[in-house]
């Protein structure tokens, strides 16, 4: 579903409202249409649903500009139909109803682009409003579809591994990679619409394309392989921040790290290692396990700026004190920048549920505390090394206290921090108070650091010049 942030509906009980899902595809011009439709929906007392499950009907604002966009639109219509059975199609592809009807004869209505009134007429027919005393209370404020400055791009679904603590392959099935062309067009559209940072995600990003044998597909008249290195290269050429999540330490990742050293994509790898003791890794059935330290050293040789994030499980069945000690030693040697840890907990249906030699809860907790102590110290030391440096920081939010002029204090992230999971940079805007916008990338001098976060002051706002034509002025706040 589209990333629509609706204004709060104050005291209106939300279950009293009819809910409309909205998928907005296409260029920023189509986004403007989407904003208009969403504004009208709210003005008439409909609520925008956050998921298919919540939606009574779905509007798909389509793009028909190029073949992959048509395909993406048709797929989105199919998904929405499967989920709700009631779909209104609008936008560019709506100009070619025969294409839609051929694939999806059950759509409820089709309109062309810039057809807010027609769309609303169909919504009213499908979801008539009863005399609801609450809807009259709704404000008719405009809905902004302003894209956030970062976005997640999923490149594959499912997973081909059989980690013994995980049931994702059972839930989602084997890996199905998207065509590189589809991913690249999505990235292109996002960047054109104002997105500055793309988080590349899947269950095992390093295995991208294996299932489709690195099939080629079209992007801007060229054939591109569904291979992580090729994809990263092409994404990097678009000029936005590109961040890689869920990478396993396979040999070809070295070539991705080379792209980081060249400044094409962010020097950041999220590598969930889960453990370091060979016997535990074996029981976990982890992909890419073994020689972890060597691999990390090699990556750092290629790209000294690299930030490595990882997650670990402590107290996995059979983990002995000496296994755990190996893990602590690994942590000291690898000096990972960002580390998360969890105690092992059982997941119904996971194979590890039947493993013997469970670690008592108290031991798990004690190991977690010891682990976090080491991880925190290393993180603090590594962040301390950044004090005095000038770093690029992407601004996520304002942090003004009462009485501050707007935009005096800001919170952002460096290239080494993913949103939500890593550290933050707390900044004073200084002379630039009021001039820095959310989503801007600034140069900041780092003045202080603690275990997780950095502190500093903005020195300059960097111009934003992606290699993608900006089709509108989105992202302004
Ligand atoms: S934990 Fe293992 S099985 Fe589960 S999604 Fe990740 S790689 Fe696949």
137 vs 284, residue with greater confidence? 284
246 CA from centroid of ligand 1 (Å): 10
Instruction: Read off the pLDDT of residues 304-333 as tens digits, 9 standing for 90 and up.
Output: 999 999 999 999 999 999 999 999 999 999
- What pLDDT is attached to residue 265? 98
The mean pLDDT of 198-220, rounded to a whole number, is: 95
Confidence of residue 142 (pLDDT cuts 50, 70, 90): very low
76 vs 67, residue with greater confidence? 76
Closest approach atom of ligand 1 to CA 246 = 6
Residues 370 and 429 in one domain: no
Residues 205 and 339 in one domain: yes
Name which of 222-226, 264-268, 471-475 the model is least confident about.
471-475
Closest CA to 30 of 476, 477, 471: 471
163 within ligand 1 shell (Cβ under 6 A): yes
Residues 446 and 409 in one domain: yes
CA separation, residue 390 to residues 136, 385, 442, 462 (Å): 52, 12, 10, 13
Confidence of residue 405 (pLDDT cuts 50, 70, 90): confident
Residues 175 and 318 in one domain: yes
406 vs 408, residue with greater confidence? 408
* Residue 293 belongs to domain with CATH number: 3.80.30.20
Q: Which residue has the tokens 């204090």?
A: 409
Residue 39: which domain range? 14-137
286 CA from centroid of ligand 1 (Å): 8
40 vs 271, residue with greater confidence? 271
Q: Is residue 329 part of a domain?
A: yes
- What pLDDT is attached to residue 128? 84
The mean pLDDT of 74-84, rounded to a whole number, is: 89
The mean pLDDT of 258-280, rounded to a whole number, is: 96
Closest approach atom of ligand 1 to CA 167 = 4
* Strand arrangement of the beta sheet that strand 241-244 belongs to: 150-154, 197-201, 241-244, 268-270, 307-314, 338-343
Name which of 45-49, 58-62, 80-84, 349-353 the model is least confident about.
45-49
- What does pLDDT average to over the chain? 86
Pocket test for ligand 1, best of 162, 169, 210, 249 (most atoms within 8 A of CB): 169
The mean pLDDT of 82-95, rounded to a whole number, is: 87
* Three-point CA angle 95, 96, 102, nearest 5°: 145
Instruction: Read off the pLDDT of residues 156-173 as tens digits, 9 standing for 90 and up.
Output: 988 999 999 988 888 778
Residues 69 and 125 in one domain: yes
Q: In whole angstroms, what is the distance from residue 456 CA to residue 447 CA?
A: 5
Residues 123 and 158 in one domain: no
Q: In whole angstroms, what is the distance from residue 250 CA to residue 99 CA?
A: 43
Do 151 and 193 meet the contact criterion of CB atoms below 8 Å apart?
no
Instruction: Provide φ and ψ at 74, rounded to 5°.
Output: -65, -40
302 within ligand 1 shell (Cβ under 6 A): no
Q: Is residue 315 part of a domain?
A: yes
Q: Is residue 415 part of a domain?
A: yes
The mean pLDDT of 180-204, rounded to a whole number, is: 92
Closest approach atom of ligand 1 to CA 285 = 2
Q: Is residue 472 part of a domain?
A: no
Residues 216 and 353 in one domain: yes
Q: Is residue 84 part of a domain?
A: yes
349 CA from centroid of ligand 1 (Å): 14
- What pLDDT is attached to residue 299? 97
Do 370 and 416 meet the contact criterion of CB atoms below 8 Å apart?
no
251 CA from centroid of ligand 1 (Å): 19
Residues 275 and 350 in one domain: yes
- What pLDDT is attached to residue 217? 97
- What pLDDT is attached to residue 36? 75
Q: Is residue 8 part of a domain?
A: no
Closest CA to 21 of 70, 56, 66: 56
Token representation of residue 367: 């190991």
Q: In whole angstroms, what is the distance from residue 322 CA to residue 327 CA?
A: 9
Confidence of residue 27 (pLDDT cuts 50, 70, 90): low
* Residue 398 belongs to domain with CATH number: 2.40.50.140
Confidence of residue 65 (pLDDT cuts 50, 70, 90): low
* Residue 48 belongs to domain with CATH number: 3.40.50.12160
Confidence of residue 15 (pLDDT cuts 50, 70, 90): low
- What pLDDT is attached to residue 41? 83
Token representation of residue 33: 């249409």
Final residue of a structural domain among 69, 104, 137: 137
Residues 197 and 166 in one domain: yes
Residues 317 and 171 in one domain: yes
Q: Is residue 129 part of a domain?
A: yes
202 within ligand 1 shell (Cβ under 6 A): no
473 CA from centroid of ligand 1 (Å): 40
Number of structural domains, the chain? 3
Kindly report the protein residue whose alpha carbon is nearest to atom 4 of ligand 1.
166
Instruction: With a cut of 70, say whether residue 250 has pLDDT above it.
Output: yes
Residue 303 is labelled as binding a ligand: no
Instruction: Read off the pLDDT of residues 353-399 as tens digits, 9 standing for 90 and up.
Output: 889 999 999 999 999 999 999 999 999 999 999 999 999 999 999 99
* Selection from 183-197, 236-250, 336-350 with the highest mean pLDDT: 236-250
Report the Cα 281 to chain-centroid distance in Å.
28
Confidence of residue 67 (pLDDT cuts 50, 70, 90): low
Instruction: With a cut of 50, say whether residue 477 has pLDDT above it.
Output: no
204 within ligand 1 shell (Cβ under 6 A): yes
Residues 221 and 352 in one domain: yes
Closest approach atom of ligand 1 to CA 162 = 3
Final residue of a structural domain among 137, 170, 191: 137
Token representation of residue 384: 């301390």
142 CA from centroid of ligand 1 (Å): 42
Instruction: With a cut of 70, say whether residue 80 has pLDDT above it.
Output: yes
Q: Is residue 128 part of a domain?
A: yes
Residues 130 and 260 in one domain: no
């Amino acid at each position: 579903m589209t990333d629509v942030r609706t204004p709060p509906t104050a005291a209106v009980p939300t279950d009293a409202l009819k809910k409309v899902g909205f998928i907005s595809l296409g260029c920023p011009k189509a986004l403007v249409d989407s904003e208009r439709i969403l504004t009208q929906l709210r003005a008439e007392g409909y609520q925008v649903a956050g998921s298919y499950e919540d939606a009574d009907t779905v509007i798909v604002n389509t793009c028909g500009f190029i073949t992959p966009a048509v395909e993406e639109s048709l797929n989105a219509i199919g998904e929405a139909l499967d989920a709700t059975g009631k779909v209104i199609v609008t936008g560019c592809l709506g100009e070619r109803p025969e294409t839609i009807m051929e694939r999806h004869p059950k759509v409820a209505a089709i309109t062309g682009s810039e057809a807010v009134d027609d769309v609303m007429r169909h919504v009213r027919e499908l979801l008539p409003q009863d005399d609801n005393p609450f809807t009259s209370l709704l404000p008719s404020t405009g809905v902004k579809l302003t894209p956030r400055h970062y976005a997640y791009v999923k490149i594959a679904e499912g997973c081909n591994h059989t980690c013994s603590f995980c049931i994702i392959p059972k839930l989602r099935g084997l890996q199905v990679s998207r065509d590189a062309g589809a991913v690249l067009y999505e990235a292109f559209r996002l960047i054109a619409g104002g997105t500055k940072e793309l988080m590349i995600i899947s269950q095992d990003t390093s295995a991208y394309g294996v299932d489709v044998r690195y099939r080629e597909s079209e992007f801007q008249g060229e054939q591109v392989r569904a291979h992580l290195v090729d994809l990263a290269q092409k994404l990097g050429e678009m000029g936005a921040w590109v961040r890689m999540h869920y990478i396993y330490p396979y040999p070809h990742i070295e070539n991705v790290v080379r792209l980081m050293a060249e400044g094409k994509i962010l020097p950041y790898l999220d590598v969930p290692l889960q453990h370091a003791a060979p016997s535990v890794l074996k029981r976990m059935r982890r992909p890419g396990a073994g020689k972890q330290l060597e691999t990390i050293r090699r990556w750092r040789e290629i790209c000294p700026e690299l930030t490595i994030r990882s997650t670990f499980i402590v107290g996995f069945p059979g983990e002995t004190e000496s296994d755990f000690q190996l893990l602590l030693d690994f942590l000291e040697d690898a000096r990972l920048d960002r580390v998360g840890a969890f105690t092992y907990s059982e997941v119904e249906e996971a194979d590890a549920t039947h493993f013997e030699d469970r670690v008592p809860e108290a031991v798990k907790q004690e190991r977690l505390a010891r682990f976090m102590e080491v991880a925190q110290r290393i993180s603090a030391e590594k962040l301390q090394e950044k004090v005095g440096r000038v770093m690029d920081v992407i601004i996520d939010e304002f942090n003004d206290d009462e009485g501050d002029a707007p935009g005096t204090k800001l919170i952002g992230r460096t290239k080494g921090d993913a949103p939500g999971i890593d550290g933050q940079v707390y900044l004073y805007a200084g002379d630039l108070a009021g001039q820095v916008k959310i989503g801007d990338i600034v140069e900041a001098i780092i003045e202080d650091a603690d275990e997780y976060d950095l502190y500093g002051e903005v020195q300059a706002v960097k111009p934003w010049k992606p290699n993608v034509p900006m089709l509108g002025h989105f992202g302004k706040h």
